Amino acid sequence: MTDVKFIIRTADQTRKAEVEMQRSSIGADIVQAAVDNWALPSDTDYALVNVTTGRSLVPTEMLDENFVQAGDVLEVQPVLVAGHA
């Protein structure tokens, strides 16, 4: 299986990394890598969006060529919560 090199960033665009992963990796692997490398909360829900194409990747979907091409920019978007409960 070939690798693909892309850019990943946080939704507020203050963190960015160049990542090379196997195309057999899935969306959840990318989110987990962002959580690990940027010390993001692990108890939060995230969406993964290819902002170059506008497509979202579900956690179980592989990084095939339909979703990401070399050089594309992917964004890890957190669900935001507020409240007192």
Partner 1 sequence: MRWEDQSETVTLPAAAVFLKTLEPADEQRLSGLENELPRVVVTSDCLRSMREHLDTSCDELGGLLLGRAYRHAGPAETHVIVAECSVASRVFDSTGVSLRMETEVWDRARPLLDAGALVVGWYHSHPNLGAFFSETDRTTQRSFFRNPFSVGIVIDPVREEMRAFVGPESAIVPEENLVVVACG
| Site residues (vs partner 1, CB under 8 A) | 7, 10-22, 25, 29, 33, 37, 40-41, 44, 46-47, 49, 51, 75, 77-85
Nearest distance in Å: CB 79, partner 1: 6
Nearest distance in Å: CB 1, partner 1: 13
Residues sharing a CB contact under 8 Å with residue 52, sequence separation 6 or more, in sequence order: 69, 71, 72, 73
* H or E, element range at 29: helix 27-38
Nearest distance in Å: CB 61, partner 1: 16
